[in-house]
């Protein structure tokens, strides 16, 4: 069965997009097809996967308001076989307003995915840093949530609200939704705080936390500005090694 994963955290700057594109890139291969759906109007996942932001072709905005089919906006990632992207741009910010009058607006993405997901082994949905209608669509369309938490002060701030939203969606809109895994990001081994936060998260969530921790890395931050994932930008860097290991662990979670 296709694993449809919402990569979500309403707190910004936690490595959410970095996690979505690099987990997807690590899992993709000629024999394992992976799709990244960019549902963040900032479009950073699209940029990291080589999408031209100046392009006038349709993207997730048109899909969400019902003017395009998902299959018609998907583009292949030029550097990684097996990896595709459904891109976003700033127009997507207006979709939440336009969708308010739609019937069953929370199900727009699920409907768009119905005939397509069988083409992929994994579908990663990169959510915006909010709990608005776009994130709600991702949670309704997904089967599991991958939750990045940064190893910094206030790491757990707002997390209870996100988990309440996941529970609400599970109760009323998507009974199959689960928190599949939690990944610790932006770890700085030079500080005691990072270790304390990691320990606190593991205490709270136990086995759902992936063993591998993603280090704070300049190379991870630089890669998207070159239109690349870490695996083509600097495949031997600590960030690439960590995401490769985390992806291997995440793959086993679903088996």
95-127 residue pLDDT tens? 888 988 788 899 999 999 997 878 999 999 999
Confidence of residue 204 (pLDDT cuts 50, 70, 90): confident
Q: Which pLDDT does position 7 carry in this prediction?
A: 97
At residue 124, the 3 state secondary structure works out as strand
Question: What's the chain's average pLDDT?
Answer: 92
Please report the sign of the dihedral spanned by the C-alpha atoms of residue 38, residue 42, residue 44, residue 49.
positive
Whether 255 has a pLDDT exceeding 70, the answer reads: no
Whether 164 has a pLDDT exceeding 80, the answer reads: yes
Range with the poorest average pLDDT among 78-87, 90-99, 171-180 = 90-99
b/e code 139-159 from CB counts within 10 Å (16+ = b): bbbbbbbbbbbbbbeebeeeb
Confidence of residue 41 (pLDDT cuts 50, 70, 90): very high
Q: Which domains can be identified in the chain, with CATH numbers?
A: 3-253 (3.40.50.300)
Q: Are residues 60 and 54 in contact, defined by beta-carbon separation less than 8 angstroms?
A: no
- Nearest partner of 87 among 134, 29, 126, 30, judged by Cα: 126
Q: What tokens does 49 get?
A: 């996967």
Q: Which pLDDT does position 6 carry in this prediction?
A: 98
Question: Average pLDDT in the 74-103 region?
Answer: 90
| Rounded CA separation 172/114 (Å) | 19
């Amino acid at each position: 069965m296709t694993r449809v994963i919402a990569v979500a955290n309403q707190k910004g700057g936690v490595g959410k997009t970095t996690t979505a594109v690099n987990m997807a890139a690590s899992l993709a291969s000629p024999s394992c097809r992976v799709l990244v759906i960019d549902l963040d109007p900032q479009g950073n996942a699209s940029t990291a996967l080589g999408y031209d932001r100046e392009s006038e072709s349709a993207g997730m905005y048109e899909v969400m308001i019902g003017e395009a089919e998902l299959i018609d906006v998907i583009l292949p990632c030029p550097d990684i076989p097996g990896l595709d992207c459904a891109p976003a741009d700033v127009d997507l910010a207006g979709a939440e307003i336009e969708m308010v009058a739609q019937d069953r607006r929370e199900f727009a993405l699920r409907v768009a995915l119905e005939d397509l997901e069988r083409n992929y082994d994994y579908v990663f949905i990169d959510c915006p840093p909010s709990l608005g209608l776009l994130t709600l669509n991702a949670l309704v369309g997904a089967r599991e949530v991958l939750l990045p938490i940064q190893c910094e002060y206030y790491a757990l701030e707002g997390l209870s609200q996100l988990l309440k939203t996941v529970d609400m969606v599970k109760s009323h809109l998507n009974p199959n939704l689960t928190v599949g895994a939690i990944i610790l990001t932006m770890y700085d081994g030079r500080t005691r705080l990072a270790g304390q936060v990691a320990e606190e998260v593991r205490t709270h969530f136990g086995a759902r936390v992936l063993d591998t921790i993603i280090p704070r890395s300049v190379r991870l931050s630089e890669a998207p500005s070159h239109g690349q994932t870490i695996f083509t930008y600097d495949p031997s860097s600590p960030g690439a090694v960590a995401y490769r290991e985390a992806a291997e662990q995440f793959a086993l979670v679903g088996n």
